[in-house]
Structure 1
Amino acid sequence: MCAEPFITRPPVTLHVLAKAPLPGCVKTRLIPLLGEQGAADAHAELVHHCVTNACQALPAEHVTLWTALKHQHRLFTALSARLGVTLKPQPEGDLGTRMRHALRDAPGPAMVMGSDCPSITSDLITTCAQQLTTHNVVILPAEDGGYGLIGTQDDYPTLFSDMPWGSEHVFAETCARLTASRLTARYPKTIWDVDRPEDWQRWRHIRHRQA
């Protein structure tokens, strides 16, 4: 009897979308609380935290940081130099176009997340990667009705086109499309992101307790 051939499965890759922390261009809803520079600094802290968590969960060679606004910003180059992540510029288009582009960057299962979800821990990323090996899709729904991470086994265009991005209906609409497409999915945990002043204060409280 011949032994079954050993099949090497492509590794799960993770793609982080991030804007350069330019004052007045990022985290604008935090400006009334922190000012333009303060909001930019807060954004930089969140990007640094999220990319660090990503590299604690997966080997750096499996993590790509997709940049926007200023691709060679010192924050990005410093993260690449220190952690070894790959830098790539985000393409033009809406959020769905940019996420789908990242997910299709390499063969095999892939996950994409934003850079303002400090509640996505390294352990949670690991859990998502594990569950993606047995399901078509893995999603971390967000408290605001969106989601902070999505992983896919293959290219599923319907999940990313004509979606009401930025609204509280994104997760519900995504679930409806998953059902219509008969795709299996897992939702390991509901997370939250930092968008409003109260979100930032929530994050600062957590950081203070961890210190």
Structure 2
Amino acid sequence: MAADRTRRHLVIFARQPRLGVGKRRLAAEVGDLAALRFGRYALERLWRELGADPRWTLWVATSPDRPTRWVRRGRPLPQGPGGLGAKLRRVTDVLPAGPVVIIGADTPGVTRTDVARAFAALGPKAAVLGPAADGGYWLIGLRRRPREPRPFDGIRWSSDQTLQDTIDALGDTPYARLQMREDVDDGAALQRALTPRRLR
């Protein structure tokens, strides 16, 4: 089991939860304080659910790169400069050998079962995608064998074409799909994600 953990890497892409930083579209609808509370709740939920599983090593790709004292579980890993594609490529390239699964911190409902299914798919497939309701994806995983693509170039990020662009970037590379989920980018999605729970 320990050997499996060293070969599998789960990365949460996360921005430090600070007032007025990040989730600007959400904050515009629900206010900075509610957006901050959601950010903290989402990270805590993911850390509790995914942080202690012995089947993988947890990393937190941080923005900004420093400080990292707010990372409560997992190993901090800087996202570095550039757009999202550059950050995803950088993190994917610097991790130790083994398959990698990446999720964002704005889909707090991700479970251990979701992640385990993603890693299982990376046995026979080179990539795995978790489609999001808005046309993006809530999860991407790569087997990372030589000559297998890193599908992060030429992507229209944060659009309803992000998933399709990523599939196009994979070309003929075999990939698997997980179930569709919704990431939290606006007030309606926040309400659905928290019902019947309320932020306190």
Alignment TM-score, normalising by the size of structure 1: 0.82
Superposed, 1:160-175 pairs within 5 Å as: 160-175=152-167
User: Cα deviation per residue 1:146-190 (whole Å; 9 max; x = unaligned)?
Assistant: 001111111655510121111110111112222x2x211100211
Equivalent residue for 1:87, pick from 76, 79, 84:
76
Unmatched runs of 5 consecutive residues or more in structure 1: 1-7
Q: 1:1-25 CA deviation, whole Å, 9 max, x = no partner? A: xxxxxxx876221111100111111
Deviation at 1:201, TM superposition (A): 0.3
Structure ID, larger Rg:
1
- Contact 2:8/2:55, CA 8 A, preserved across alignment: no
Matches within 5 A, 1:15-164: 15-59=11-55, 62-69=57-64, 71-72=66-67, 74-76=69-71, 79-80=72-73, 85-104=74-93, 105-154=95-144, 156-157=148-149, 159-164=151-156
* Separation (CA, whole Å) in 2 of partners of 1:206 and 1:185: 35
Alpha-carbon shift at residue 119 of structure 1 (Å): 3.0
| Percentage identity across paired residues of the two chains | 24
- Deviation sequence 1:87-130 (CA, Å, 0-9, x none): 12211111111112222221121111111112322211111111
Matched letter for residue 140 of structure 1: G
User: Any idea what SS the aligned residue of 2:21 has?
Assistant: coil
Scaled by the length of structure 2, the TM-score of the pair is 0.86
Alpha-carbon spacing, 1:48–1:54, altered in 2? closer, same or farther (3 Å): same
Whose helix proportion is higher, 1 or 2?
1
> How far is the alpha carbon of 1:70 from its aligned partner?
6.5
In the aligned structure 1, how far is the partner of 2:26 from the partner of 2:169?
A: 33
Letter paired with 1:93: G
The equivalent residue for 1:5 is none
Other structure's SS at 1:92 match? coil
1:28-63: CA deviation from partner (whole Å, max 9, x where unpaired): 223244321221121111122123332255556x11
Q: Amino acid of the residue matched to residue 22 of structure 1?
A: R
117-126 vs 156-165, which moves further: 156-165
Counterpart residue type for residue 41 of structure 1: R
Alignment gaps of 5+ in structure 2: none
Distance 1:126 1:142 in 2: 18
Q: Bigger shift: 164-173 or 150-159? A: 150-159
CA-based RMSD: 2.2
- Superposition misfits of 4+ residues, deviation over 4 angstroms: 56-60, 155-158
Give the secondary structure class of the aligned counterpart of 1:113: strand
Distance in 1 (alpha carbons) for counterparts of 2:119 and 2:150: 22
Secondary structure at the aligned position of 1:64 is classed as strand
Q: Which moved more, 1:130-139 or 1:42-51?
A: 42-51
Aligned to 1:3: none
Q: Structure 2: which amino acid aligns with 1:112?
A: I
Tell me if the contact between 1:139 and 1:150 (Cα under 8 Å) persists in the aligned partners.
yes
Amino acid paired to 1:177: A
